[in-house]
Structure formats: structure tokens, C-alpha cells
């Protein structure tokens, strides 16, 4: 009897899990990847588009062409998952049954949940770089910006790539310096958190960089309204931040079909799962990878990459009736562009926050410190993404588990 694995979403996590599973399993198992379009966006590139450092069109490739032979790509929208029936209802009406389901449908932007934001984005009273179209429009707006207040705002967590708005602020500082108008621009970073970043040692480093670049930080700012015509952000507790150019990261939720699938997701449409095995809380035959998951880890491509290895192994175990042996340690790895052709690198997991040192071992890229090497690493990563990560290959030096060698873990004892 043939078995079928259905993967919902052909983004980073869905693609690499499907490719890993196709290599691991024989033809007795069908693998179907469902997505509503055939446009796979290299999302880390979106950060560079507003500054003219990447072209939007160069970030897009075919989803189906990233999948190995023997994987079916089904282009359809998802109506809902029927957990009790073990099937997915697609918008062309055909139910698709599964033996194992992998939710890999990422996070979606929900600007409509913030008063005034959808209108402001549509009327270009505010911008966002979290979509291809948005980042391209922001590129034009920045080019025409000759001075005033640039306000970068995160409405609330969780968001994809939590360091991206900080990187955007760093790159804006550099961009205006290069144009010789930095003195005419005030850059404000407004965050709902009580610091630039949630992890303490990293927060100190990033706060120092923000201060050094003359970027104002407004903390615990919970945006209640984006007033596009009035050019101001208003917080729920009544504070106002005026702007000439606003770059807002909207609220995130899961894919909309999760809300229509009884018992699958949280109130935000993310799918709760065991943080080690990545098996969903909803059903034993449903697994989650990447941004779609409701687990205490950053929504980042590196996380989807490391989780992909775990999910592929555990789905194989599940189908074979064996215990789920692969366990995710929360490994996260992010380059943080800081401008001037430099970047920082952070590497951490559930237990260990980002610390200085080197990655992946004592000889390697410097951690939590600005360096040209890291910037080159970030740029080189784009090729690795298409040719190593998505095909589901094991990349030498980038293991699933967080490496301890090379890290100055002793700084944590003083971090409190």
C-alpha cells in the first residue's frame, strides 16, 4: 500500500524537508508539495532591495524547480486541513489524503490588525520591506528622501528575522552617510521590547552599535495606530512618534487556512509543536517546520534549515512505526548586517544565548563582533541557499546541533 506525505508550503522549510525525504524514502512513498504560486522568494535578500543593493527580480525562482525528481508539485490554495479525516481540502475542491502532513506554510503579514496600517501601506504613507513589492517601493521612497525623520517600527513580536529591522536601521545610517545627508536625517528605532534584542549579551552589543551610529531607540512602544496622513505612530499608552518616512514591520500570523482548520493552530494561526521533535500538538501524524511553528525559537531561515533535518528524520521514523529519535536543540544562526560592508554573526539555541567567540569552531567566523568576513559570509550564503540548503544537502561546517567549541561561554556567568 502506497503512503503519501503532504507538505503544505514550498518555501525554505517545505522545500528542504521534501528533498530530504525524497532522498531518504523509496518509491513506495509519494511526496506532494502544495503551494498557491510558483514564486520562491529568497527572503534574506529583501533587506538589501530598499538600498539598491539587490534587485527584487533576482530574488525569485520557481518553487517547483527547487524540488527533486519524484516530488509532485501541486499548485493550489489550501482551504483547510481536516485532522479527523487525515486530509487537506484544496481550493480546487479535491481532498488530498495523507499519512503524514508537514505544515511548512510560514508566517503571513497581518497589517489589517493595526489601525490605519493597511491604508498607510496602500497609500505609501508607510512602507514595509517584508514583501518584494514593498521593498521595491521603499527603494524609490528612500532615493527621494532628502532629510527628516525615518522611523523604523516593529508593531509586535513574533516577526520573521527579528534582527532585520535593526539591520535596516544600520543600513539606513550607512546609506545616508554615503549620500552625504546623514546629518539631515534622524533615525528612530521603535520596538515593543524593553531593549533592541531579547537576549542580554547580544542586546548590549546591538544597543552599543545603535548608539554609536546615532540611532534613537524607543522601547516598550506598542503601536496602536499608524496615522499615515498625520505622519505619526501612536502607541496604546498614548505616546506619539512623528515621522517623515515610516518603515513598519506589520503583525505576523500563520497562513490563513490554519485558522480554518479546527484544532490545528494557536490564536495567531501558528501551529503548536513539541519543541524537540517538532511533532504537532494536534495529531501525531502532523509535523511543523519553520516560521509556521509555535515554538520558542526565532522565525529565521537557519531555524527552518536545522529543523528540516530533524523533521525529515522524525517523519521517516513515524512512518516506520518507530520512536521519534531526532531532537531539535533550538539552534539559530543569523548574520546581522551593520553597514560599511560589515556584519555580525550570532549562533545560539534554546539553552545558550548569543556570546562572542568563533563559529563553527575556534577557527571560523567571529561571533557577536563586526567583521568584513561576516558580511562576505552573508553575501555568499545566497548561493549556498539555492544550491546546498534547499536541495537538503548536508553543508560541511554547518551542522544541525549548535556547536559549543569556539564560544566564550564564560561571559554568561556574568550576564545574570
Partner 1 sequence: MPTKSYDGVDVSVDEQGFFTDPSQWREPMASEIAAEEGVGELTDRHWQVIKFMRHEYEEKGSGPSVRALGKTSGVSIKELYQLFPKGPAKLAAKIAGIPKPRGCI
* Site residues, partner 1 (CB under 8 A): 156-158, 162, 193-194, 198, 220, 222, 224, 236-237, 251, 267-268, 296-298
CB of 214 to partner 1, least distance (A): 26
CB of 158 to partner 1, least distance (A): 5
CB of 157 to partner 1, least distance (A): 3
- Spatial distance between the Cα atoms of 369 and 393, rounded to a whole number of angstroms: 29
Closer to partner 1 by CB, 28 or 413: give it: 413
Angle at 173 between CA 375 and CA 60, to 5 degrees: 50
- Spatial distance between the Cα atoms of 312 and 315, rounded to a whole number of angstroms: 5
- Spatial distance between the Cα atoms of 74 and 90, rounded to a whole number of angstroms: 10
CB of 299 to partner 1, least distance (A): 8
Closer to partner 1 by CB, 194 or 410: give it: 194
CB of 401 to partner 1, least distance (A): 19
- Residue 174 CB partners (closer than 8 Å, separation 6+): 339, 340
- Spatial distance between the Cα atoms of 103 and 264, rounded to a whole number of angstroms: 10
Contact 131, 226 (CB under 8 A): no
- Spatial distance between the Cα atoms of 306 and 414, rounded to a whole number of angstroms: 29
- Spatial distance between the Cα atoms of 306 and 298, rounded to a whole number of angstroms: 12
Closer to partner 1 by CB, 268 or 381: give it: 268
DSSP 96-163: EE-SEEEE---EEE-GGGSBTHHHHHHTTSSB-SSSHHHHHHHHHHHHT--SEEEEEEE-SS--BSTT
- Spatial distance between the Cα atoms of 322 and 367, rounded to a whole number of angstroms: 38
Closer to partner 1 by CB, 220 or 262: give it: 220
CB of 333 to partner 1, least distance (A): 14
CB of 280 to partner 1, least distance (A): 15
HEC string for 317-343: HHHCCCCCCCCCCCCEEEEEEEECCEE
Closer to partner 1 by CB, 339 or 354: give it: 354
- Spatial distance between the Cα atoms of 104 and 116, rounded to a whole number of angstroms: 30
Distances (CA, A) of 41 to 10, 11, 234: 10, 8, 32
CB of 53 to partner 1, least distance (A): 27
CB of 237 to partner 1, least distance (A): 6
Q: Read off the C-alpha cell for 72.
A: 509532485
Closer to partner 1 by CB, 237 or 410: give it: 237
Closer to partner 1 by CB, 192 or 242: give it: 192
Closer to partner 1 by CB, 156 or 274: give it: 156
Closer to partner 1 by CB, 119 or 156: give it: 156
* Structural element, H or E, at residue 174: helix 164-178
Amino acid at each position: 500500500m502506497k503512503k503519501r506525505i503532504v507538505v503544505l508550503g514550498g518555501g525554505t522549510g517545505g522545500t528542504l524537508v521534501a528533498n530530504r525525504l525524497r532522498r531518504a524514502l523509496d518509491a513506495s512513498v509519494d511526496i506532494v508539495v502544495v503551494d498557491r504560486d510558483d514564486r520562491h522568494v529568497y527572503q534574506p535578500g529583501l533587506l538589501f532591495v530598499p538600498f539598491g543593493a539587490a534587485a527584487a527580480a533576482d530574488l525569485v525562482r520557481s518553487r517547483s524547480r527547487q524540488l527533486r525528481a519524484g516530488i509532485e508539485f501541486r499548485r493550489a490554495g489550501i482551504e483547510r486541513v481536516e485532522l479527523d479525516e487525515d486530509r487537506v481540502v484544496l481550493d480546487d475542491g479535491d481532498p488530498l489524503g495523507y499519512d503524514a502532513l508537514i505544515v511548512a506554510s510560514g508566517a503571513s503579514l497581518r497589517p489589517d490588525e493595526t489601525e490605519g496600517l493597511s491604508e498607510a501601506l496602500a497609500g505609501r504613507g508607510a512602507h514595509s520591506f517584508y514583501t518584494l513589492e514593498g521593498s521595491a517601493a521603499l527603494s524609490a521612497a528612500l532615493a527621494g528622501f532628502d532629510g527628516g525623520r525615518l522611523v523604523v517600527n516593529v508593531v509586535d513580536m513574533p516577526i520573521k528575522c527579528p534582527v532585520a529591522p535593526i539591520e535596516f536601521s544600520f543600513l539606513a545610517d550607512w546609506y545616508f552617510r554615503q549620500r552625504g545627508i546623514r546629518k539631515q536625517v534622524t533615525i528612530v528605532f521603535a520596538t515593543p521590547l524593553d531593549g533592541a534584542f531579547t537576549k542580554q549579551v547580544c542586546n548590549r552589543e546591538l544597543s552599543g552599535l545603535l548608539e554609536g551610529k546615532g540611532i534613537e531607540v524607543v522601547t516598550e512602544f506598542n503601536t496602536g495606530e499608524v496615522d499615515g496622513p498625520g505622519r505619526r505612530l501612536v502607541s496604546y499608552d498614548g505616546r506619539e512618534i512623528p515621522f517623515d518616512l515610516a518603515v513598519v514591520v506589520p503583525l505576523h500570523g500563520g497562513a490563513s487556512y490554519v485558522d480554518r482548520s479546527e484544532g490545528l493552530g494557536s490564536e495567531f494561526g501558528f501551529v503548536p509543536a513539541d519543541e524537540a521533535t517538532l511533532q504537532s500538538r494536534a495529531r501525531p501524524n502532523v509535523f511543523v517546520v519553520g516560521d509556521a511553528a509555535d515554538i520558542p525559537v526565532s522565525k529565521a531561515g537557519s531555524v527552518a534549515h536545522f529543523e528540516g533535518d530533524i523533521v525529515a528524520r522524525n517523519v521517516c521514523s513515524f512512518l516506520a512505526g518507530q520512536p521519534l529519535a531526532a531532537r531539535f536543540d533550538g539552534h539559530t544562526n543569523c548574520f546581522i548586517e551593520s553597514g560599511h560592508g560589515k556584519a555580525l554573526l550570532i549562533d545560539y539555541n534554546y539553552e545558550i544565548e548569543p556570546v562572542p567567540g568563533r563559529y563553527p569552531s575556534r577557527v571560523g567566523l567571529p561571533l557577536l563582533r563586526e567583521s568584513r568576513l561576516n558580511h562576505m559570509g552573508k553575501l555568499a550564503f545566497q548561493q549556498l541557499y539555492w544550491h546546498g540548503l534547499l536541495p537538503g544537502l548536508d553543508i560541511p561546517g554547518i551542522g544541525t546541533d549548535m556547536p559549543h567549541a569556539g564560544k566564550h561561554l564564560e561571559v554568561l556567568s556574568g550576564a545574570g
